[in-house]
Amino acid sequence: MDPWNATERPLAFNCTVDTSYRFTLYQVSYSVIFLVGLVTNSLALCRLCSSPCNRSSTAVYMVSLAAADLFFVISLPLRIYYYNQRAEALRPAGSGWTPGAAYCHLTFMLKYVSLYGGIFFLLCIAVDRYFAVVHPLRSSLRRLRVARLVSRGIWCLVLGLSVGLPMLWLAAARQDQPCLPDPSSRQHRTLILLALGFVLGCFLLPAALLLYCYCRVLRVLRQQRQRGRSQLRNRRHTLTLIYWVLAVFLLCFVPYHVNLLGYTLTHVGLLPHCGLARLTKAVHPVALSLASANCCLNPLIYYFSSSLVHKEAAAAGSGGGGGKGSQ
């Protein structure tokens, strides 16, 4: 189902490992993620869209973040059904269901919308905090119109990646199982590595920018400890937002992409290390489940920073230039 969630056959070199546990793990984890993600993202989206707080730049990015997560959540019943059928195929006299290329493309696309939509919109929130704290006088960069234009641009980028990446995987897939890549030929290995490069680039560049923005923000906030009660409250809200975004990155995105690199290199035979191949293949279902769980954790970013969002919305509504000078 997942393009890297490989096969029951040996890897590109003779090294096998049993990962049949993944079918049960995916069914359980995706069921929990579906229920929690559907409720929390729907509530966050409704509240953000129906309240005056959607007049701030931060709220614009949070609306897009919740919408991207819902794209993935609605695809989870299809994934649960797929893994249920794969588990049935392992039982005696069981018969599995082989999905078609259209099914694979749709589910991969919705997955990438959530995964990289989450990364890019979390980056937007980080950049928004950077200008609010480090360069508060540049309020024009945090105007509502600018935030909406940036959000639309990110959506175009994410949708382009979400359509293009599955096409690379389907081009490198086996004819009898279009959801699984086939590294047996040099052309297919090139396509797999090209897709891997795009995936890692879409993670590493935003991660580097996010860390830079938050390091600068934390440095400024450290210099503002001796301030009034109102500013101390804003500082606490900003720190909560920063720490939660970093926690989502460290818990959901870092393990997945680190394991993905080792898994793909061993799978295509560029890194013929049997121990690493077994480790990355065994860990991959857990790492993918953690990455998928980001759509349950992202709504908490709104709830933990709701006071900050409402304050900026009030400032924008009173002609404050979209949160000018706020933290």
DSSP state of 249: I
Question: Sorting pLDDT into bands at 50, 70 and 90, what band is 1?
Answer: very low
> What six digits make up the tokens of 199?
């995936």
Q: Report the CATH fold assignment for 21-317.
A: Rhopdopsin 7-helix transmembrane proteins (1.20.1070)
Q: Which helix (H) or strand (E) holds 238?
A: helix 229-248
Shortest CA distance to 241 belongs to which of 127, 145, 113? 127
- Mean of the pLDDT values across residues 57-71? 88
- Mean of the pLDDT values across residues 290-305? 85
- Mean of the pLDDT values across residues 300-323? 59
Q: Which helix (H) or strand (E) holds 210?
A: helix 186-222
pLDDT of residue 7: 43
CB burial readout 145-183, b (16+ within 10 A) else e: eebeebbeebbeebbebbeebbebbbebbeeeebbbbbb
pLDDT of residue 95: 56
In sequence order, what are the residues at sequence separation of 6 or more whose Cβ sits closer than 8 angstroms to the Cβ of residue 160? none
pLDDT above 70 as % of the chain: 73
Which region among 140-144, 213-217, 268-272, 289-293 has the lowest average model confidence (pLDDT)?
140-144
pLDDT tens per residue, range 202-257: 999 999 999 999 999 888 888 766 555 556 666 777 788 888 889 889 999 999 99
- Spatial distance between the Cα atoms of 138 and 158, rounded to a whole number of angstroms: 27
Torsion of CA 132, 210, 116, 136, to 10 degrees: 10
- Mean of the pLDDT values across residues 313-317? 53
Backbone CA torsion sign across 257, 258, 259, 262:
positive
In sequence order, what are the residues at sequence separation of 6 or more whose Cβ sits closer than 8 angstroms to the Cβ of residue 292? 29, 30, 33, 72, 111, 114
**Residues 234/308, Cβ–Cβ less than 8 Å:** yes
Residue 135 has pLDDT above 60, yes or no: yes
Residue 140: Cβ within 10 Å count: 12
- Mean of the pLDDT values across residues 61-75? 89
Look over the chain and give the mean of its residue pLDDT values, rounded to a whole number. 79
pLDDT of residue 21: 87
pLDDT of residue 209: 94
pLDDT of residue 324: 40
Question: Sorting pLDDT into bands at 50, 70 and 90, what band is 53?
Answer: low
Q: Which has the higher per-residue pLDDT, 156 or 275?
A: 156
Where are the chain's structural domains?
Answer: 21-317
**Residues 23/86, Cβ–Cβ less than 8 Å:** yes
In sequence order, what are the residues at sequence separation of 6 or more whose Cβ sits closer than 8 angstroms to the Cβ of residue 193? 264, 268, 270
pLDDT of residue 6: 45
Burial class of 275 by CB neighbour count within 10 A (0 to 12, 13 to 18, 19+) = exposed
